[in-house]
Structure 1
């Protein structure tokens, strides 16, 4: 039986849905960025990931990622999950992600 969306989740609108292929000469893989906003325009849900099955097969190939699924902000790193206890803004998480993936992109 399919899960019902809560009324709150039903009012979220996906405002970012981007995918970028990383050329093999730069390290390969892809970057996926998704974000949803509430009716006031606040980002309430997000998923940012660097996926590269050549580097890591687990966690659907997610090498590095950030999201706030399961009701808390957390970071994925080669299958391990760490809470982001000093979360401030979505924009700051995007900056962290960009710094994190820089070491994998040549």
Structure 2
């Protein structure tokens, strides 16, 4: 059975609150285990490369990794909840800086 996408969310952030878009995509297998994910903060005013992706976490290309202003680095995967926490920390820290 193919994985099923359970979240495909986009949230636009108003310019007065930092601008940009939050994107969340999550797929699960038949048992409900997260098999794929893509968590992204997009803001073309902060970063024009990587399709505007300022910070993001995903497990495409066979490994868990973080995108940050065009750089890609592997991340230790403990759980999907942990990855969501790391992403939330990163993008909210960026929002406070801008």
TM range (shorter): over 0.9
Unaligned ranges ≥5, structure 1: 1-9
- Structure 1 residue ranges (4+ consecutive) displaced by more than 3 angstroms after TM superposition: none
The alignment's TM-score, normalised by the length of structure 1, stands at 0.87
Looking at structure 2, the residues matched to 98 and 41 of structure 1 have their Cα atoms a distance apart, in angstroms, of: 22
Q: Which position in structure 2 is the counterpart of 1:89?
A: 79
C-alpha RMSD of the superposition: 1.0
Q: Which position in structure 2 is the counterpart of 1:22?
A: 13
- Matched residues, number: 96
Q: Which position in structure 2 is the counterpart of 1:70?
A: 61
Cα displacement (A) at 1:77: 0.2
Looking at structure 2, the residues matched to 96 and 103 of structure 1 have their Cα atoms a distance apart, in angstroms, of: 11
The alignment's TM-score, normalised by the length of structure 2, stands at 0.94
Q: Which position in structure 1 is the counterpart of 2:31?
A: 40
Looking at structure 2, the residues matched to 39 and 26 of structure 1 have their Cα atoms a distance apart, in angstroms, of: 38
Structure exhibiting the larger radius of gyration computed from Cα positions: 1
